Amino acid sequence: MSLKSPQNQDANKSAQIEEDDLAYTSSAASAILYQTPRGGQQLLWVIVVFIVVMIVWASLAYVDEFTRGEGQVIPSQYVQIVQNLEGGIVNEVFVKEGQAVERGQPLLRLDDKRFSFSLRESEVNQSQLLSQSLRLKAEAVGEPFPEDELLALVPEKIVAAEKALYFARAQELNTSNQVIVQQVVQKRQELSEWQAKFQRLKRSYNLLKDELDLTAPLVAQGAVSQVEVLRLRRELNDVQGEMKAAQLAIPRINSSLSESEQKLAAAESAFRSRSQAEYNEVKAELNRLNESSQAIADQVDRTLVVSPVTGTIKQLFVKTLGGVIQPGRDLVAIVPTEDKLRVEARVSPADIAFLHPQQKAVVKFTAYDFSVHGGLTGEVINISPDTITDEEGNSFYVVQIETEQSFLGSEVNPKPIIAGMTVSVDILTGQKTVLDYILKPILKTKQLALRER
């Protein structure tokens, strides 16, 4: 009886397993597996798994696709030429060539004496017309003089003069209407007297009538003489006559009173109408003067020439203090340096098909190491409608890109960028999988293969 070691038993089991596996494979594969050592089989499986994983990764992993171009930095705006509309004498020059300036910063000052004098004169006229217009408005509507309102707007001296004129005109109106006013007062008093007299006569008439009614029956009884009755009747007739006279007088006096009151109202209305007409004229003149004053104020403001943009002084055309500037003459040339830069890049016609505005781009400046300072992100804003051919016969499209900022680095330590710097531009046109890049030359070769003569 022979004994087998554990190693021999394991080997026999492995051989038995391999023989079982071979039963399910082809003859060629069985031969390969049968002849291949076990370590080699494991390595083969690892390679197969690795290749499968790499194919899956390559089909799922995307990389950015760029179109590249070369170009340079251009000003985002053209050179700004500063002029002055009116011209004048140079009093001060605040800047020099090459100096950086901000938008609204003073550049130079012109003499403003002639405009300042006209402006002060216009302001005085404005104050007078404004005070006059408010005084006439108060007269036209019958309101008190607006002293407090005027004191807040115009000098006190002008207000005092208009106030005195307001009361003088009011007194003049009262004087011219004094006769009519006296007539109105007299008619009202006369009307009141007649009305009182009529009421008194009416009471007397009623009393006499009652007395007559009581006395007349006593004549038949002999208690009262006929003469007494006649006297009462005569007095009653007299009172009745006076009542009728009063009744006729009251309407006549009323009519006369109304006529006088109408004359008074007409006089006041005529005064207010004249005031209203004068107010309209003054108001129109004030509006015209306001417009001209604004124009003069603009002229005064323009004597201080300021920069219209943020930029750098390229050229000073005026340097002599006291020099005379003709209207519309060029004073300063400024190269704008706003918050954004504009890059003009050349792109090959073969790469233009996938470009369009609003695509993102990365701008790299040759003056700064990209690995150290990085680049600026931007956006395509314009593509030339046709190719441009240079002196060497090269055709290209011009693509303009606007960056998000105008410097590299941080705001604490910015790296300046100026017009004319050369750049390389990477424009993001899309994404593609790694597998697409790997298969691209194969597919391209397949399309061109077997077509030669």
Give dist(CA 182, CA 399) in Å, integer: 94
Asked if 115-299 and 338-450 have one fold, the answer is no
Least confident of 63-67, 196-200, 387-391, 449-453: 449-453
- Residue-level pLDDT at 423: 92
- Residue-level pLDDT at 180: 72
- Residue-level pLDDT at 397: 92
Question: Which sequence spans correspond to the domains of the chain?
Answer: 80-104+308-334, 115-299, 338-450
Banded pLDDT at 106 (limits 50, 70, 90): very high
pLDDT at 6 over 50: no
* pLDDT over 70 percentage in the chain: 86
CATH number of 115-299: 1.20.1270
414-452 pLDDT, tens per residue? 787 877 889 999 998 877 777 776 777 776 676 666 565
211-266 pLDDT, tens per residue? 777 777 777 777 777 888 788 888 888 888 888 887 888 888 787 777 777 777 77
Across all residues in the chain, what is the average pLDDT?
80
pLDDT at 126 over 90: no
Question: What is the DSSP secondary structure assignment for residue 145, as one 8-state letter?
Answer: P
Contact of 279 with 140, CB cutoff 8 Å: yes
- Residue-level pLDDT at 75: 67
- Of 2.60.120.1270, 3.90.1150.10, 2.40.30.170, 1.20.1530.20, the CATH number of 338-450 is 2.40.30.170
Give dist(CA 240, CA 201) in Å, integer: 8
Could you give the C-alpha distances from 355 to 30, 385, 426, in angstroms and in order? Answer: 57, 12, 11
What are the DSSP calls for 407-433, one per residue? Answer: EEE-SSSEEE--TT-EEEEEEEEEEEE
Q: How many CB atoms sit inside 10 A of residue 87's CB?
A: 14
C-alpha radius of gyration, the chain, whole number: 56
- Residue-level pLDDT at 453: 53
Could you give the C-alpha distances from 257 to 180, 196, 247, 266, in angstroms and in order? Answer: 10, 17, 16, 14
- Identify the top-confidence range among 7-11, 57-61, 70-74: 70-74
- Residue-level pLDDT at 443: 67
350-407 pLDDT, tens per residue? 888 888 898 899 999 988 888 888 888 889 989 988 989 888 888 999 999 988 887 7
Over residues 81-98, the mean pLDDT reads 88
Over residues 51-69, the mean pLDDT reads 80
